[in-house]
Amino acid sequence: MKVHKIKHIVLVASGKGGVGKSMVATNLAVSLAREGYKTGLLDADLYGPSLPLIMGLENERLYASKDGDKEVYEPLVSYDVKVMSLGFMMKPEDAVIWRGPMAASALTSLIENTNWGDLDYLIVDTPPGTGDIAITLAQKLPQSKALVVITPQKIALADGRKAAAMFANSGMNIPLLGIVENMSYFTPLNHPNEKYLLFGKGGGAQLAKEMDVPLLVELPMVTDVCELADNGKTIFASTSGIMVEAFQLLALAVDERCRAVDSRQQINYSEFKPMMS
């Protein structure tokens, strides 16, 4: 279906796996929906589609209708978010064994054949790295903006730098909204005022400075977040209010940055104070 009915498309990316990119994409989408925005969530991580599990839709399957010779997919809805994933077309234990062109073709089908309707935001969970899928997204969704998710340590910074540079490349030219630093520190549920820097510090701030974009948020590690995701629940079911507050502010910051990019306004990045720092 036509994506021109979608006001803002945000690619959530990372240079490496394991940094919590899908967690960020999912909870950002839910946070935007809770703010009243019509929101969709596209699982573009074709080789490891995790959004059906995280969104509590693991056992659901798609409904498809015909529009002439073309199949049209109806996205599933969870937490007031329209969700589309290759995972809805396969068993959880199935492996996707595709070369690049096949993956690109499947992603194109998910984008163009999904009945998104009118959306304020489409959040796209991209696969880690800078391969074929990222290139296909840039070609099919040239109006996109991007967020890069990293963790504080140096190796994550190096990989995050590559992801950020990919969007700045003249072949893509996708505006970078900002940096999200995940796992900035660990906070025990019973001791919410304590912070333990398990992975060092400063990676997000350094990358944001290098790319001349804001560090939008520093997300802590909270004990029950992984368990909630495994059970199809978002951070809004957490017993910790820290993550809820962080994602609410991240949603507002993303909205402000998208509007600024669209209007080509200059933003004073010093006004952005990352949460949890």
Q: What percent of the chain has pLDDT over 90?
A: 41
Nearest to 136 by CA among 16, 261, 11: 11
Q: What is the CATH number of the domain that holds 202?
A: 3.40.50.300
pLDDT digits (tens, 9 = 90+) for 34-57: 999 999 999 988 777 889 899 999
Q: What is the mean pLDDT of the chain?
A: 84
Under the banding of pLDDT at 50, 70 and 90, the label for residue 250 is: very high
Model confidence at 266: pLDDT above 50? no
In a domain, 234, yes or no: yes
How far apart CA 257 and CA 178 sit, in angstroms, is 8
Rounded CA separation 62/54 (Å):
17
- Within a domain: residue 277? no
**Residue 262's domain spans which residues?**
3-271
Residue 91's pLDDT is: 61
Domain for residue 164, yes or no? yes
Q: Which residue has the tokens 């030219």?
A: 173
Is residue 41 within 8 Å of residue 82, measured between CB atoms? yes
Termini Cα distance of the chain? 41
Residue 228 lies in a domain: yes
276 is a domain residue: no
Number of domains in the chain: 1
